Chains A and B, each alone.
Chain A
Amino acid sequence: MIPGKFDYHRPATKTDAFKLLLDAGPDGRVLAGGHSLIPMMKLRLATPTALIDLGHISELKGISVSDKRIEIGATTTQHELIQSQELFTACPIIHETSLQIADPQIRYCGTLGGNIGNGDPGNDMPAVMQCLDAIYTIESLKGSRQVSARAFYRGAYVTALDDGEIITKISFVRPPTGHGYAYCKLKRKVGDYATAAAAVILEMSGGKVQSASITLTNVSDTPLCATAAAAAVTGTTLEPAAITAAVLAAEAITNPTADGRGSAAYRTRMAGVMVHRALELAKERAGDIGATSISASATGAPKTGKAGGMFGWLNR
């Protein structure tokens, strides 16, 4: 498999990147980790004439965690997300999700911006960003604007991004200490996209859910914000009836396609099962954050989490 021809550019600054992208016209593409784009190019399903490599722009990298907000540069890799102790402490769902994306080699290259930016409904981070109600900073020569993750996705590979624009930063409010979280992903094997996955962030108080955020991956042409499901558990103790209500509400908004991962009916139901499991896991974890420490290895198995590794005798 051999890609078509293109010109390669390696800007050192954002501004240079914007200029190059503008000059390249509609057939220019930005290149981050490349692990979505390059296979498409090798299959000649993507034939950009210019590639603008964002990998050497230092201002696009980095993780900043404050008491209030978390900001992540768009070209920060999954590996760097996994490695960050600070991020793990403040918002462990990112660590948990990153470990379920692709495989170790790809996580060294794959970036957060790439994962959220190309509009592939199979990607995991869009739903997580929606769950965290993240804001994407989008820049071009024309300036900068901010778009909510919940408003960014329009369809499969269709996003709010206009020609010449690049996502430069992702930011969100730091979840409160002690929040419950889970990203439960059903997949055929390591490296696969989700058959269905659910992200959950919970705040529990006095045994009751004060607030909840539930989102779904790969059961529609965009990530889904399961607002009704979240409403169904808010104020409850997450008793079985509440969870069932959330599951049904989540299943109701799915619209998956049948593919090698299963029939539409199966994938809908699996969205429900993942919501169920993520809610239970998040409840179990709520109030318990900070007790576990990050694995010594970025490539180690998640220390928490019941999903993933699906044939997995590993998770016995």
Chain B
Amino acid sequence: MAKSLITLTINGEVHEQRVDDRELLIHTIRERINLTGAHIGCDTGHCGACTIDLDGRSVKSCMMFAVQANGASITTIEGMAHADGTLHALQEGFRMEHGLQCGYCTPGMITRAYRLLKENPNPTEAEIRMGIAGNLCRCTGYQNIVKSIQYAAEQLRIKEAAE
């Protein structure tokens, strides 16, 4: 079975890895690069716990082989906070609005919401709900996740207005 040498830029850092062609991207990120924020929840592409941001798209990393991502630029939950260590508005929002409980879906949820707000900085509640429909949460009932994303959207708008 073939192995391939791949290059991934993850949270700004370049990683070269030699992987089996069948290795799933989630395993490369979690096991080789030791970024364990993204999780495996369902194995079949329904839960979104493994969501990462890949070349400007929200991607379920257990539905992609690492070789497919060769050359890609990836942001994971670990790359979400600012360089000075302050939290991203979404991370702050989830904490302020109690948008998480067990925390297992949270990295995927925040990473997905990150792309959602990039594409739609001022979403309605219905747009947020549709926008996170690829991420399952068993704990919160989503209501506070919606509020968390609204909180972040507001903070990001304020920040943008100030700049």
Contact = CB atoms under 8 A, between A and B. Distances in A.
Interface of A: 1-8, 10, 31, 34-35, 38-39, 42-43, 51, 53, 55, 79, 102-106, 108-109, 190-191, 295-301, 309, 314
Interface of B: 1-2, 4, 20-22, 24, 43-46, 48, 51, 57-60, 63-65, 67-68, 70, 112, 116, 119-120, 123-124, 126-127, 129-135
Contacts of B135: 105
Judged by DSSP, the binding face of A is loop
Given A10-B67, A38-B63, A297-B127, A5 B43 contact: no
Contacts of B65: 8, 34, 38, 51
B21 A108 contact: no
Nearest to A83: B119
Contacts of B57: 79, 105, 108-109
Given A5-B1, A297-B120, A314 B126 contact: yes
Contacts of A35: 45, 63
Interface centre among A4, A7, A103 (most CB of B within 10 A): A103
Nearest to B27: A2
13 contacts: A38-B63, A39-B43, A39-B44, A51-B65, A53-B67, A79-B57, A104-B131, A105-B51, A190-B130, A190-B134, A297-B120, A300-B120, A300-B130
B64 A109 contact: yes
Given A103-B48, A300-B127, 6 more contacts: A35-B63, A39-B63, A102-B134, A190-B130, A299-B116, A300-B131
Contacts of B58: 104-105, 108
B22 A3 contact: yes
B134 A106 contact: yes
Given A39-B45, A105-B51, A7 B21 contact: yes
A299 B131 contact: yes
Contacts of A314: 126, 129-130
A298 B1 CA distance: 39
B45 A1 contact: no
A53 B116 CA distance: 27
A109 B2 CA distance: 24
* 3 shortest interchain CB distances as A-B pairs: A103-B134, A297-B120, A8-B21
Contacts of B44: 1, 39, 42-43
A6 B65 CA distance: 11
Contacts of B21: 5-8, 51
Contacts of A42: 43-44
A300 B24 CA distance: 29
Contact of A105 (B2, B124, B134): B134
Q: Which of A191, A300, A314 has the most CB of B within 10 A?
A: A300
A2 B130 CA distance: 30
Given A7-B21, A105-B60, A105-B112, A301 B130 contact: yes
Contact of A4 (B22, B48, B60, B129): B22
A8 B67 contact: yes
Nearest to A308: B130
B2 A34 contact: no
A53 B70 CA distance: 12
B90 to A, nearest CB: 16
A261 B150 CA distance: 34
A7 B1 CA distance: 6
A38 B120 contact: no
A42 B62 CA distance: 10
Contacts of A106: 45, 60, 63, 134
Given A4-B22, A8-B21, A34-B64, A105 B48 contact: yes
B96 to A, nearest CB: 23
A299 B129 contact: no
Nearest to A53: B68
Contacts of B124: 300-301
A104 B112 contact: yes
A96 to B, nearest CB: 13
